[in-house]
Chains A and B, each alone.
Chain A
């Protein structure tokens, strides 16, 4: 892509002129090869694919015919590395470096490489275009849609799509109050978990007493199994920055922070590049676009502590202190960072802001339900066919997300539950799948929207194990400042461990419920007060599984090691030896061709590796 020479822009006209210049330099009909360079696809080998494309284009001197763009995540991680040919949007999946010369020569000739297209599992038909793939059909990608049109390291890509024009409109044509009104009218609620009305928060911060006001973007994304914020920050960092700029103007703040988890190196890098490039163009810093408004942004990296996603802990950590929360008698909008009024919003919340201002509150409020407007990004993971990031309108049902977008459960297994809301959320059973997804409905069934993690579980997932997993996670992450959370979680973890290891007692379920009530009532921050949710919802919907563990010393899903035994079904075992190779401790002996293998119970560590590889059902799990 042609690099435009950077010069500080000092008026809205100059911004518009630059945009026109960029657009004029680009041929909309030129074929462009778009490759996902997000963490998921990179882990699947996208870097080799990118290098191969570069070489191939170089080799054939095709620079004028073919553009190449490395972008953030388009969502369909299951099928990565993903390649899309623009402007037609031909989708190639699971692309390897060996496929590149074929893709390049086909694209130059206007042909399509059939074998790399996605096959619809229902009809067996090949699907050519991205938007026709069932995974994308029911999505409404207001935020993620631009990811494949933008190389996040090139600000021109964002400008070409009209980026920062909304900021310009805000700075020159809207008063701060008008901006706040618009966000309130749009009904935007915080995407970080709590669902607090964003406009109301901004207004309180604007009105709070103080010399300096801060705005912060929460990209700590602590939910262990979710990556919405990562993909936005990696893929479209300028949309987040533009949102923060608009918010800062409305609130009257001149200093912002982005708090990113250290486990997201690419997000840290791309946010840093975006800040630098925006600064060079005068879209950050002093006298932005000649408006007299100043705003700068610093990045601060987290240190791997879940509790630092909580507002007061995050601010302590930003001040260079231990990330412990404090009691919120005084809200952070009044006394936050350095005791000054501070407005904290989640990445996805910020990214929604430019959309609302650009298209108007009425347009935005048309999408969604009565109490929850707009779209929500979920990371759909676990036992699901189409793992990835999905952006859907609020109000869509869980069933639509799991079956239509997600393509259902792999290997024809039975759906058991979906966990939403991360460690603060709960497990939702089959009977509630027709629930429309919005902030209030999910809370009604004992879970919560959370930041957007959605973990699907099938018949082979043990619900007591899941509850134990979250409690253990939270026990490890509890900062230890308040007793109910520190000691309560430890006790709950012990009880759950006992249950899953065959030492469960009559009365354990009731004890867990009592402890839960104590934690919910008396913890200092929401880490502790919402911690019981995974336990309470699994007891509410899957009590029989708890009872099977406690009374019959049996794990119905076959997950809890101490409660299962593996046996060889001699009738069915042809002695193929697959399990012999899979066993990590050499507990299975090959007795020769056509003779069933022998399993030594003394050596068996019950890892289940043999059970997984045996396709003949000759390993029995009891």
Chain B
């Protein structure tokens, strides 16, 4: 007849042990610093896109998660410093295995990964992220493309410049602005899209 009370005893004892349950989603816990989360398409310091639509990330991807279509920049409508930019850029998060091979392939360091992991959804459509969703938000000093070259006369100035000043990118690992940008993004109530 002490059996039921014994059961309470187990509960009672556990109440005073340290517990492992996360208070998610009320409280987000930081991941390991190099956690492979959602991708970011970074910008040059003036807001132009770093991505040149080369598709090397798509080529490298073992899961065929990336779809890119290049397009022509014109002097009137410029998205990236050179002749070519990504007219269409999509990552399908139902396919992505977060291996990071795309990041290694990217020749312009446009594509990096954030620590963002909230990627559950109930529709296929919403899990195919478009370029607008993937692009890093505009930081102070950045201007929404299309706009003319602001940091030099040609793309070379951008690339040479990038060696000294890699630019800041919201969500990019180890960027000084990472924290503030995350806050901004949180305030906007979505995963960092501009």
The answer to whether A and B interact is no
Residue numbers of B with Cβ under 8 A of A are none
